[in-house]
Amino acid sequence: MTAPLLSIEGVSVDLPTPRGPLRAVDNVDLSLAPGRTLGVVGESGCGKTMLSRAILQLLPKRARLSGRVMFAGRDLASLPAEALRRLRGPELAVVFQDPMTSLNPVLTVGTQIIETLQAHLGMDAAAAAARGAELLAAVGIPAPAQRLRQYPHQLSGGMRQRVAIAIALSCEPKLLIADEPTTALDVTVQAQILDLLAREQQRRHMAMILITHDLGVVAGRTDEVAVMYAGRIVERAPTLKLFARMRMPYTEALLAAIPKLDSPPHTPLPAIAGRPPDPTRPLAGCSFAPRCRYADGRCRAAKPPLADPERAGTLYACWHPLGVSEAASA
């Protein structure tokens, strides 16, 4: 087992709100080895994006971060601003959800790629322009030399996301965080972008965190999956194991909510009833208990720890895991 590239220990993020502090990320532990991919899955507002911002140290100014974010042996949270700045780009990079807003509208695509290359790799203008065109070609953009001279609004959404990926990849980062990279895109383009990310990840042997609300997205493209709910990780397992034997009722409910092609017409799509708990008022018990059909008094009274009672590599936080008899889990 190689040393982890990224290891997060007990990371919590608190945001001040008029109704009191909001715990957006609650005591999350994660680790990621070089060249591996981790999927982070959860519904809107579960803290996925805040977790990614915590790793990148790009939290809003008001937010308070606790815990340690170790990246390549350094604690990012205590790194001086200048050292952190040098890390971003060549080591850490990110692809955002919405390519409409993540590119500067008044600069050409070329300017945005070329300046990144010049700033980080010290290339001269001509070399950077050539490399920029190569990068655009690598992310599947036809006629890259012409595209370099175009503005973001002249490109389609999928093209823009490819450009954003090209910029993120430009300095050969060791870790790429893709924060819902396909949510703002057309369904037909989504698979292309995900395949592109997977291909580049393999080719460059970089570690990747793929954040999404869609279990289907992580299924074929990640080594490990962490399911988040209300700021906590509720189940974490190697991808194959997770889909073969999920333990957490929330994961099951998420999977059930994906429409299936082979179900007969007019089959009602099971939705998860209710809504996530108010994050400013933490529950005493399991935060999924109010929506869980297996919940009982114990679930409402005590928070289940994230643990691996079966010693099978699957961590879950549940008192009544699926497919495990009561006797075994107790």
Can you give the binding site for other proteins, defined by CB under 8 A?
A: 56, 58, 61, 85-90, 92-94, 96-98, 100-107, 115-116, 119-120, 151-153, 164, 167-168, 171
| Residue closest to 8 by CA, chosen among 214, 282, 223, 226 | 226
Burial of 245 (0-12, 13-18, 19+ CB in 10 A): middle
Q: What is the C-alpha to C-alpha distance for residues 328 and 89, in angstroms, rounded to an integer? A: 47
Show Cβ contacts of residue 230 under 8 Å, excluding neighbours closer than 6 positions.
26, 46, 47, 276, 277, 279, 287, 288
Minimum distance from residue 210 beta carbon to other proteins (Å): 16
Minimum distance from residue 171 beta carbon to other proteins (Å): 8
Minimum CB distance to other proteins smaller for 153 or for 199: 153
Minimum CB distance to other proteins smaller for 106 or for 327: 106
Minimum distance from residue 55 beta carbon to other proteins (Å): 11
Minimum CB distance to other proteins smaller for 159 or for 218: 159
Minimum distance from residue 111 beta carbon to other proteins (Å): 8
Please report how the helices 125-138 and 157-169 are oriented relative to each other, as an axis angle in degrees rounded to 10.
Answer: 120
Sign of the dihedral defined by the CA atoms of residues 185, 186, 187, 193, in that order: negative
Minimum CB distance to other proteins smaller for 204 or for 241: 204
Minimum distance from residue 179 beta carbon to other proteins (Å): 10
Exposed e or buried b per residue across 19-40, where buried means at least 16 C-beta atoms within 10 angstroms of its C-beta:
eeebbbbbebbbebbebbbbbb
Minimum CB distance to other proteins smaller for 153 or for 275: 153
Minimum distance from residue 95 beta carbon to other proteins (Å): 9
Minimum CB distance to other proteins smaller for 155 or for 225: 155
**Could you tell me if 173 and 89 are in contact, meaning their C-beta atoms sit under 8 angstroms apart?**
yes
Q: What is the C-alpha to C-alpha distance for residues 273 and 230, in angstroms, rounded to an integer? A: 15
